[in-house]
Structure 1
Amino acid sequence: METSIPLSIDQYHEDVKVWKSNIALAVDEIRFIENLTQSYAFEPTTPNLFERLEDFKSEIYKIKKLLDNIQKLLSKHDLELSGMLECDTMACDIYFQEKHLLIKENYRQFVNSYGKTKTEIFNYCGTILKKRKK
């Protein structure tokens, strides 16, 4: 985990705001991916189509659990940041910094996992849809 000088409360809030915005976009994308994997837009003769789509649905389920966890962490952290103003000790600064870095690491894990899964699904589905146009 990285260490640095404690951020200002504005910097903490800005990080959380950016993370929440990116999470909101991911929620919309996941909804689209779920609709895509449940659609009939695929070439039915594609080998292992059903199995691959079921694997993707399973991966999306895992991603949604990660998403739910990070959303809860972010909401709680955002609320706790208001308490930072009342606390002016070094121990308090360290607590908020460590908590923020932990959430940042959770966020990075979500982004990496989601990005990998999304790319895999889009690459696979895009290939099948392109075949259909021929």
Structure 2
Amino acid sequence: MEAKNSYKCFNENKSIEELKYNMLQFKTRIEEEIIEYKFYKNLLEASIYKSKTINLFENLEKYKKGINATEKEALELLKEINLHSNSITNKIECQDLFCDNFFIKGHDKLEEKTQKFFIECTSFKIQLFQYLESVLKG
């Protein structure tokens, strides 16, 4: 039986530095994804495919649309991460438990959203790679 990759949060007892570091790691990974997707766009535009592949153009267009949608989602996620990273220092100013819990819940939601994004990216890339492997000139 395969284990499901589901989100678990462990942020309640983390320091401000740990929270900031985690957000920086997410930001870096998303920026790397954006660079990767730019390469995939170029790859999809190249003339390196078998000439008589059924629905080649349509399938390449489908993947281009997926790349564009993922890039847009990545940029929106980067904005959220940057805003959240800037607000992490506000956690220091929280003196009551309600404020602290509210902040941690927001952090957890963003972390879960980011994890789901990375899982979706991996799934998309696996599909793309499998398709490209089948249509590349040998």
TM-score by length of 1: 0.89
Q: Give me the whole-angstrom Cα distance separating, in 2, the residues matched to 1:59 and 1:72.
A: 20
Q: Does 1:11 align with 2:18?
A: yes
Backbone CA RMSD of aligned residues: 1.6
Which residue in 1 is equivalent to 2:93? Answer: 86
2:38 corresponds in structure 1 to 31
In the TM superposition, 1:94-105 aligns within 5 A as: 94-105=101-112
C-alpha displacement at 1:66, in angstroms? 1.5
Structure 2 residue aligned with 1:49: 56
Cα drift, residue 65 of structure 1: 2.1
Aligned length: 131
Runs of 4+ in 1 over 4 A off after TM superposition: 1-4
Partner of 2:130: 123
What secondary structure, in the 3-state scheme, does the structure 1 residue paired with 2:89 have?
A: helix
Q: SS where residue 88 of structure 1 aligns?
A: coil
Per-residue deviation at 1:87? 2.1
Unaligned runs of 5+ in 1: none
Aligned equivalent of 2:82, options 54, 59, 75: 75
Q: Report the Cα offset of residue 16 of structure 1.
A: 0.4
**Residue 83 of structure 1, CA deviation:** 1.5
AA partner of residue 9 (structure 1): I
1:21 is the counterpart of 2:21: no
Question: Are the aligned partners of 1:6 and 1:93 in contact in 2 as well (CA < 8 Å)?
Answer: no
1:127 partner amino acid: S
Unaligned runs of 5+ in 2: 1-6
CA distance in 1, matches of 2:120, 2:127: 11
Amino acid across the alignment from 1:12: L
CA contact (8 A) 1:7 1:97 kept: no
